[in-house]
Amino acid sequence: MHDTLCGYCQKYARAYGMDFDIECHATGDELLASYIRGRVDMVFLDIEMPGTDGLETARRIRSIDGRVTIVFVTNMAQYAINGYEVAASDYIVKPLTYFDFEVKFTKALRLIKGHAETVLSINTVDGIRSFAIGDVHYVEVLDHYLLFHTVNGVYKARGSINDQTKKMRSYGFSRIHKSYLVNLRSIELLGASRLDCDGETLPIGRAYKTTFMQEYLRFLGSVE
């Protein structure tokens, strides 16, 4: 299977005039042994692999890398729903065809690009700062201030989380709690009542759960 995927990646690169660095691993254990955070943009995982299976491999990858895009390959579509636990972007059902691969790969590339180049300006207590929207992991309410947790640190600003929710929802952010607004791209692990984002575990409020899950599932399909 990994030979087929590598061949499809090369075919896609030739067809679209792109250049990819491709690594092929026969097992999840082999991948985990060489995995370095930030070096990889996208991972294709067969759910059924010898040794550590695809889902467990994805869980371990998510524990160290919350930004990589994960796509599952599986014999049974119902198994792929487990991918939401690790914020997988999509799945491909075997037998694998190039047409299916091309559609899913294009979607995943768009997901990676997302709104990363959109600039968000925030009036922090230290002055106006601008961030790429993809660099903001989540916004937190604390002591009547908003804390913007970004790849470059935490910035404090005055304002309303309700106003920020209205402003940032169209860029892939969702309210999960009265005190938290998260970037859906930064979700590392999703549970029944909490999620991991930027290395932190955040609660999902009951009043927000239904809307959040609808927005999350819609977000995963928004780049079709």
CA pair distance 170, 156, nearest whole angstrom = 22
Q: Which of 80-89, 160-169, 208-217 has the lowest mean pLDDT?
A: 80-89
Per-residue pLDDT for 93 more than 60?
yes
CA pair distance 116, 123, nearest whole angstrom = 20
Higher pLDDT, 204 or 128: 204
CA pair distance 68, 44, nearest whole angstrom = 11
- Tell me whether strands 69-74 and 42-46 are parallel, antiparallel or unpaired: parallel
Tell me the residue type at 41.
D
pLDDT at position 147 is 96
pLDDT at position 223 is 44
pLDDT at position 224 is 44
Q: What is the pTM of this model?
A: 0.57
114: helix, strand or coil = coil
High-pLDDT (> 90) share of the chain, %: 30
pLDDT band at 85 (very low <50, low <70, confident <90, very high): low
42: helix, strand or coil = strand
**What tens digit of pLDDT does each residue of 135-180 get?**
899 999 998 899 999 988 999 999 999 999 988 887 889 999 999 9
**Mean pLDDT across the stretch 46-68?**
84
Q: Tell me the β-bridge partners of 91.
A: 72
**Mean pLDDT across the stretch 56-74?**
84
pLDDT at position 63 is 81
pLDDT at position 83 is 61
Contact between residue 161 and residue 179 where contact means Cβ atoms under 8 Å apart? yes
**What tens digit of pLDDT does each residue of 100-131 get?**
888 888 888 877 766 555 677 888 998 888 88
Tell me the residue type at 91.
Y
pLDDT band at 183 (very low <50, low <70, confident <90, very high): very high
Going from the N-terminus, what domains does the chain have, and what CATH number goes with each? Answer: 2-113 (3.40.50.2300), 119-220 (2.40.50.1020)
CA pair distance 172, 132, nearest whole angstrom = 13
Q: What angle do CA 181, 58, 218 make, to 5 degrees?
A: 40
Q: What is the mean pLDDT of the chain?
A: 85
Per-residue pLDDT for 212 more than 90?
yes
